[in-house]
C-alpha cells in the first residue's frame, strides 16, 4: 500500500493554499489556483494538502512478499495514478501562472502608456504656465509705465496749481488796490463799479478753480496710492508664481527620474520574463520526458502482469526465469526512484521560477504606486492651473479698470488740435506765418498761438499736432479711446474745422496709401486685432456697422441698396432719431450690416464714400457738403468671466464751416452752406449751454446735435479733433475754430457708464 504522513487528516485546501504547496509555503497576493482538481479517471474531484503531497513524494513501495509481482504491480499503478493527478494539477497551475503573467504584462503596458500621456500633459502644462508668466510680466511692465505716466501728470497738475496760486495772490493784491481807488472815485465814475464787480467775480472763479484743483490733487494722490498697492500686490503674486514654477520644475525633474527608473525596472522584468519562459520550456521538455518514461513503465507493468499470469499458469517453469523477473523488478524500483528524484528536481526549479515571478509582481505593484502618485501630482497641477487662470482674469479686469481711470483723469471731452501742412496751391510762401507752437515746458505739445492783426492769441489743448505730424502719430493718441469701445463704453470721435482744413483726410486718409490711412481705417484694424487676441481669453465679439450723412437737415442712409446718387432728393425715406433709457441712440429704418473683418468694413466705407454728398467751392475742390457719421456697435460675451459688454464707436466727419463771401456759394451750394453753418451754430449753442451748466440744453435745434446728444451729454467718452488751415487768409476762421474748441475743452460732464452685466448664474470659484 501507499503510505501517508503520520495520521494527517484529509482536508481540502484552497487554490491559494495549493499554490503555497508548490511555491515552498509562500503566498503571493495576486494569484490563485483553480478551485478543484479533477484527479481520477472516474472524474471525481481530488484535492491535495501539503502533507499529502509530501507523503506522496516520500512514499516507498513495500510489499509483504517481494516476489509477489501482482501486488507490487497494483501498488505501482496506484502510485503512478496519483503522480499523474499531481502532474495534471501542476499543469493547471502552470496555465494559471501563464494567464497571470499575460495579465500583468497588459497592466504594465497600460501603466507605461498612461505614464507617457502624463509626461506629455505635464509638458503642455509647463508651457501654459510659462506663457502665463510672460503675460504677467507684460502686464507688470505696462502697469509700471502707467504709474510713471500718472506721476508725471500729477507733477504737471502740481505745477499748474502753483501757477494758479501765484495768480490768485496777484489778483488779491490788485483787488485791494482797486478797492482803495474805488472808495475815492465811486461817485465820479460808474464804470469803475462794473470793473470791481467783474474782478470780484474773477476772484470767486479763481477760488472755485483753486478748490477744484485741490480736489483733483487729492484724487490723484488716492489713485496713486491705489496704483502703488496694486503694483505691490502684482509683485507679490509674481514672486509666488515664480516660486511655484520652480517647485513644479523640480518636481517634474524628479518625476522624469522616477520614470527612467521605472523603464529600467521594466526592461529588467522583461529580461527575467524571457529567462523564465526559457526555463518553463525546459521544464516542459523534462516533464514530457518523464511522461514518456511513465508510459514505458506502464507498458512494462502490463507486460509483467501478463507474465505473472503466465507464471501462475506455468508454475513449473525454470528458476532462471524467476530470477530474471526479480532482476526486472529491481530495475523497475531503481527507475521509480530515479523518477522521484527527477520530480523533486522539477519542483525545486518550479519554486525558483515562482519566486522570480513574485519579484516581477512586486515591481509591477511599485509601478502602479508610482502611477497613483503621478495622478495626484497631475490633479495638483490642474488646481494650480485653475488658480493661475483666475489670476489672469483678475489681471485683465484690473487692466480695464486702470485704463478707464486714466481716460477719466484726462477728461471725458478731450480736444486735439491738428494743423495741416501748407499745400502748393496755397501760394503763401512769401507771407508771414500766422501760427506758431510754443516750446516752453508747460506748452510743448499742447500749446498753439495764432497771430491776427499783430495780436497773439494763445490756446492750450490736450494735444496739438504740428503740420509735420503723421497719421500714425495722431492715431497713437486716440488708440486708448478705441480700446474703451471694446471694454463696453460708448466712444465718439469727431473732426471739426473750416472747409479745406483736412478733416476728411484726418478721418479717412488717402485711398490706397498705407502710411496715410485715417483714424477710421486704423481704428477698425486695432479693434479686429484686439478681438483676435481677446479670443484666447474667452471673449467672443460681434460687430455691426451703419453709415449715414446729415445733408440739409435730412438723414440719408449711405448703405441702403435703394440710395439715389448725387444730391437729388429722390429718396423720400424719413429717418427718426431715438434715444432709449440706457443712453443708446437708434435711427429708424437705418441699414445695419454684420461685419467679421476690417476688409468688409473697408468695402462698405468705399461704397458709402461714393454715395456721400460732395461739391466744388472756391475754398475746396472736393468739399464735403454733409456730416458723415460712422457707427460700429460691439457686443462681447465671456462665459468664463460671466460677463457681456456692449460698446459703440462713433467716428464723425463734420462738414466744414465757411463764409459765404469767401466760398462764393450760390444756388444749391448756398442752401448747403446755410444748413451746415446752422447745424454747427446749434452745436456751438449746445456747448455754451453745457459750459454754463444751464438746465435746458438745446439738443433738438438740429439733427446733428440731437444725434450727438449721448456723446455731448456725458454718456460717452468724446474726443474732438479741431483742424486748422495755416493759410493767412483763413486766420479769422481758424481763430473762431480755436475759440470754439477751447469752450468744448472747458465743458464738464458726468462720468460715462460701462455697459457690462453678468448674465450667467454665479459658479463656484476655486482657489
pLDDT of 18 above 80:
no
Looking from the CA of 553 toward its CB, the CA atoms found within 13 Å total: 12
Out of 442-456, 553-567, 598-612, which region has the weakest mean confidence (pLDDT)? Answer: 553-567
Among 588, 637, 650, smallest CA distance to 756 is for 637
pLDDT of 21 above 60:
no
Q: What's residue 493's pLDDT?
A: 92
Q: How far apart are the first and last CA of the chain?
A: 80
Distance CA 754, CA 636 (A): 13
Q: What's residue 7's pLDDT?
A: 40
Q: What's residue 267's pLDDT?
A: 78
Distance CA 317, CA 621 (A): 151
Backbone angles phi, psi at 728, to 5 degrees: -60, -30
CB contact at 8 A, 487 and 439: no
Confidence of residue 293 (pLDDT cuts 50, 70, 90): confident
Label residues 617-641 b or e (16+ Cβ within 10 Å = b).
bebbeebbbbbbbbbbbbebbbeeb
Q: Which residues pair with 554 in a beta bridge?
A: 551
Distance CA 348, CA 363 (A): 23
Average pLDDT, the chain: 76
Distance CA 336, CA 732 (A): 135
Q: What's residue 182's pLDDT?
A: 63
**What percentage of the chain has pLDDT greater than the value 70?**
78
Burial of residue 745, with CB atoms counted within 10 A of its CB: 0-12 exposed, 13-18 middle, 19 or more buried: buried
Q: Provide the grid cell at 270.
A: 522583461
**SS3 assignment, position 42:** coil
Q: Provide the grid cell at 702.
A: 438740429
The pTM for the full model equals: 0.48
pLDDT of 489 above 90:
no
Q: Provide the grid cell at 579.
A: 434715444
Strand ranges (E), 596-698: 614-615, 623-624, 627-638, 643-653
Q: What's residue 548's pLDDT?
A: 92
Label residues 192-201 b or e (16+ Cβ within 10 Å = b).
eeeeeeebee
Confidence of residue 635 (pLDDT cuts 50, 70, 90): very high
Distance CA 302, CA 298 (A): 6
Q: Provide the grid cell at 333.
A: 524500483
Out of 38-42, 108-112, 223-227, 706-710, which region has the weakest mean confidence (pLDDT)? Answer: 38-42
Arithmetic mean of pLDDT, 236-251: 74
Return all residues near 744 (Cβ < 8 A) that are at least 6 apart. 413, 415, 687, 720
Count CB neighbours of 713 within 10 A: 17
Distance CA 637, CA 539 (A): 6
Q: What is the DSSP letter of 707?
A: H
pLDDT of 172 above 50:
yes
Q: Which residues pair with 724 in a beta bridge?
A: 419
Out of 85-99, 109-123, 363-377, 605-619, which region has the weakest mean confidence (pLDDT)? Answer: 605-619
Confidence of residue 13 (pLDDT cuts 50, 70, 90): very low
Backbone angles phi, psi at 200, to 5 degrees: -60, -45
pLDDT of 239 above 60:
yes
Confidence of residue 526 (pLDDT cuts 50, 70, 90): very high
Distance CA 431, CA 123 (A): 71
Confidence of residue 253 (pLDDT cuts 50, 70, 90): confident
Confidence of residue 761 (pLDDT cuts 50, 70, 90): very low
Arithmetic mean of pLDDT, 20-25: 42
Among 715, 723, 561, 548, smallest CA distance to 646 is for 715
pLDDT of 46 above 60:
no
Return all residues near 261 (Cβ < 8 A) that are at least 6 apart. none
Place of cell 491738428: 418
Backbone angles phi, psi at 512, to 5 degrees: 60, 30
Higher pLDDT, 713 or 25: 713
Q: Which residues pair with 719 in a beta bridge?
A: 414, 493
Distance CA 143, CA 228 (A): 10
Confidence of residue 14 (pLDDT cuts 50, 70, 90): very low
Number of H helices, E strands in the chain: 14, 19
**SS3 assignment, position 188:** coil
Beta strand 539-551 with 490-497: parallel, antiparallel or unpaired? unpaired
Arithmetic mean of pLDDT, 329-346: 81
pLDDT of 509 above 80:
yes
Going from the C-alpha of 296 to that of each of 78, 84, 86, 323, the distances in angstroms are 16, 14, 19, 22
The most confident of the ranges 159-163, 206-210, 425-429, 763-767 is 159-163
pLDDT of 237 above 90:
no
Confidence of residue 519 (pLDDT cuts 50, 70, 90): very high
Q: What's residue 749's pLDDT?
A: 66
Arithmetic mean of pLDDT, 392-396: 66
Looking from the CA of 18 toward its CB, the CA atoms found within 13 Å total: 23
Out of 134-148, 671-685, 725-739, which region has the weakest mean confidence (pLDDT)? Answer: 134-148
Arithmetic mean of pLDDT, 697-724: 85
Among 482, 483, 448, smallest CA distance to 463 is for 448
Among 629, 617, 621, smallest CA distance to 671 is for 617
Higher pLDDT, 286 or 480: 480
Q: What's residue 468's pLDDT?
A: 92
Higher pLDDT, 164 or 47: 164
Q: Which residues pair with 646 in a beta bridge?
A: 635
CB contact at 8 A, 118 and 378: yes
Which helix (DSSP H) or strand (DSSP E) does residue 723 occupy?
Answer: strand 717-724
Beta strand 413-419 with 463-465: parallel, antiparallel or unpaired? parallel
* Sign of CA pseudo-dihedral 608, 611, 616, 617: negative
Domains of the chain are 412-757 (3.40.850.10)
Distance CA 37, CA 21 (A): 14
Q: What is the pLDDT of residues 667-679, one digit of tens each?
A: 566 788 888 888 8
CB contact at 8 A, 217 and 161: yes
Q: What's residue 545's pLDDT?
A: 94
Q: What's residue 750's pLDDT?
A: 60
**What percentage of the chain has pLDDT greater than the value 90?**
12
Return all residues near 130 (Cβ < 8 A) that are at least 6 apart. 245
pLDDT of 722 above 90:
yes
Count, residues in the chain: 767
Burial of residue 346, with CB atoms counted within 10 A of its CB: 0-12 exposed, 13-18 middle, 19 or more buried: middle
Backbone angles phi, psi at 492, to 5 degrees: -130, 125
Confidence of residue 522 (pLDDT cuts 50, 70, 90): very high
Out of 302-311, 572-581, 726-735, which region has the weakest mean confidence (pLDDT)? Answer: 302-311
Confidence of residue 514 (pLDDT cuts 50, 70, 90): confident
Among 751, 753, 750, 749, smallest CA distance to 686 is for 749
The most confident of the ranges 190-199, 391-400, 504-513, 731-740 is 731-740
Count CB neighbours of 444 within 10 A: 11
Q: What's residue 757's pLDDT?
A: 55
DSSP codes of every residue in 212-280: HHHHHHHHHHHHHHHHHHHHHHHHHHHHHHHHHHHHHHHHHHHHHHHHHHHHHHHHHHHHHHHHHHHHH
Distance CA 152, CA 744 (A): 25
Arithmetic mean of pLDDT, 395-415: 59
Amino acid at each position: 500500500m501507499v503510505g501517508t504522513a503520520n495520521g494527517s487528516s484529509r482536508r481540502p485546501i484552497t487554490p491559494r493554499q495549493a499554490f503555497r504547496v508548490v511555491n515552498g509555503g509562500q503566498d503571493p497576493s495576486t494569484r490563485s489556483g483553480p478551485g478543484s482538481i479533477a484527479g481520477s479517471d472516474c472524474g471525481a474531484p481530488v484535492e491535495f494538502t501539503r502533507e499529502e503531497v509530501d507523503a506522496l513524494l516520500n512514499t516507498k513501495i513495500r510489499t509483504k512478499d517481494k516476489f509477489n509481482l501482482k501486488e507490487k504491480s497494483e501498488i505501482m499503478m496506484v502510485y503512478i495514478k496519483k503522480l499523474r493527478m499531481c502532474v495534471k494539477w501542476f499543469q493547471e497551475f502552470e496555465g494559471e501562472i501563464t494567464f497571470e503573467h499575460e495579465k500583468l504584462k497588459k497592466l504594465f503596458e497600460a501603466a507605461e502608456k498612461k505614464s507617457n500621456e502624463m509626461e506629455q500633459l505635464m509638458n503642455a502644462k509647463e508651457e501654459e504656465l510659462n506663457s502665463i508668466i510672460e503675460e504677467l510680466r507684460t502686464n507688470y511692465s505696462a502697469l509700471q509705465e502707467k504709474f510713471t505716466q500718472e506721476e508725471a501728470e500729477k507733477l504737471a497738475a502740481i505745477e499748474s496749481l502753483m501757477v494758479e496760486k501765484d495768480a490768485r495772490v496777484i489778483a488779491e493784491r490788485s483787488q485791494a488796490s482797486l478797492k482803495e481807488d474805488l472808495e475815492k472815485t465811486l461817485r465820479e465814475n460808474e464804470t469803475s463799479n462794473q470793473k470791481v464787480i467783474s474782478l470780484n467775480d474773477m476772484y470767486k472763479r479763481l477760488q472755485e478753480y483753486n478748490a477744484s484743483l485741490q480736489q483733483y490733487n487729492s484724487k490723484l494722490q488716492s489713485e496713486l496710492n491705489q496704483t502703488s498697492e496694486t503694483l505691490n500686490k502684482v509683485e507679490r503674486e509674481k514672486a509666488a508664481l515664480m516660486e511655484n514654477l520652480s517647485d513644479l520644475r523640480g518636481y517634474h525633474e524628479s518625476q522624469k527620474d522616477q520614470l527612467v527608473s521605472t523603464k529600467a525596472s521594466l526592461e529588467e522584468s522583461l529580461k527575467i520574463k524571457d529567462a523564465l519562459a526559457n526555463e518553463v520550456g525546459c521544464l516542459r521538455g523534462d516533464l514530457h520526458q518523464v511522461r514518456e518514461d511513465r508510459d514505458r513503465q506502464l507498458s512494462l507493468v502490463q507486460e509483467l502482469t501478463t507474465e505473472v499470469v503466465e507464471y501462475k499458469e506455468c508454475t513449473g517453469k525454470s528458476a532462471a526465469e524467476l530470477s530474471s523477473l526479480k532482476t526486472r523488478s529491481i530495475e523497475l524500483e531503481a527507475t521509480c526512484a530515479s523518477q522521484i528524484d527527477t520530480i523533486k528536481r522539477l519542483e525545486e526549479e518550479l519554486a525558483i521560477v515562482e519566486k522570480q515571478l513574485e519579484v516581477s509582481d512586486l515591481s509591477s505593484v511599485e509601478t502602479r504606486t508610482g502611477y497613483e502618485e503621478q495622478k495626484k501630482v497631475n490633479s495638483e497641477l490642474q488646481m494650480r492651473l485653475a488658480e493661475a487662470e483666475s489670476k489672469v482674469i483678475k489681471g485683465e479686469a484690473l487692466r480695464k479698470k486702470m485704463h478707464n481711470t486714466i481716460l477719466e483723469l484726462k477728461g471725458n471731452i478731450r480736444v486735439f488740435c491738428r494743423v495741416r501742412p501748407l499745400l502748393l496751391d496755397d501760394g503763401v510762401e512769401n507771407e508771414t506765418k500766422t501760427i506758431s507752437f510754443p516750446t516752453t515746458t508747460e506748452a510743448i505739445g499742447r500749446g498753439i498761438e495764432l497771430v491776427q492783426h499783430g495780436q497773439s492769441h494763445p490756446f492750450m489743448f490736450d494735444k496739438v499736432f504740428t503740420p509735420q505730424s503723421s497719421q500714425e502719430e495722431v492715431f497713437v493718441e486716440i488708440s486708448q479711446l478705441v480700446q474703451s469701445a471694446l471694454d463696453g463704453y460708448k466712444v465718439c470721435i469727431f473732426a471739426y474745422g473750416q472747409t479745406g482744413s483736412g478733416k476728411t483726410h484726418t478721418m479717412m486718409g488717402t485711398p490706397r496709401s498705407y502710411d496715410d490711412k485715417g483714424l477710421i481705417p486704423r481704428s477698425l484694424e486695432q479693434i479686429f486685432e484686439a478681438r483676435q487676441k481677446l479670443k484666447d481669453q474667452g471673449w467672443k465679439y460681434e460687430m455691426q456697422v451703419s453709415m449715414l450723412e446729415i445733408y440739409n437737415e435730412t438723414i440719408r442712409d449711405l448703405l441702403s441698396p435703394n440710395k439715389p446718387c448725387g444730391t437729388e432728393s429722390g429718396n423720400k425715406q424719413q429717418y427718426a432719431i431715438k434715444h432709449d433709457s440706457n443712453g443708446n441712440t437708434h435711427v429708424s429704418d437705418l441699414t445695419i450690416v454684420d461685419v467679421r473683418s476690417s476688409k468688409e468694413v473697408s468695402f462698405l466705407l468705399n461704397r458709402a464714400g461714393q454715395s456721400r454728398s460732395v461739391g466744388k467751392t472756391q475754398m475746396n475742390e472736393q468739399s464735403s457738403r454733409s456730416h458723415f457719421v460712422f457707427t460700429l456697435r460691439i457686443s462681447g460675451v465671456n462665459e468664463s468671466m460671466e460677463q457681456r459688454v456692449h460698446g459703440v464707436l462713433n467716428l464723425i466727419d463734420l462738414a466744414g464751416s465757411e463764409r459765404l463771401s469767401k466760398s462764393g456759394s450760390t444756388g444749391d451750394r448756398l442752401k448747403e452752406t446755410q444748413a451746415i453753418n446752422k447745424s454747427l451754430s446749434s452745436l456751438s449753442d449746445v456747448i455754451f449751454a453745457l459750459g454754463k451748466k444751464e438746465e435746458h440744453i438745446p439738443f433738438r435745434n438740429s439733427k446733428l446735435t440731437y444725434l450727438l446728444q449721448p456723446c455731448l451729454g456725458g454718456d460717452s467718452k468724446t474726443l474732438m479733433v479741431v483742424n486748422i488751415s495755416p493759410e493767412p487768409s483763413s486766420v479769422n476762421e481758424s481763430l473762431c475754430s480755436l475759440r470754439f474748441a477751447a469752450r468744448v475743452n472747458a465743458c464738464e460732464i458726468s462720468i460715462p457708464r460701462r455697459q457690462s452685466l453678468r448674465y450667467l448664474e454665479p459658479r463656484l470659484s476655486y482657489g
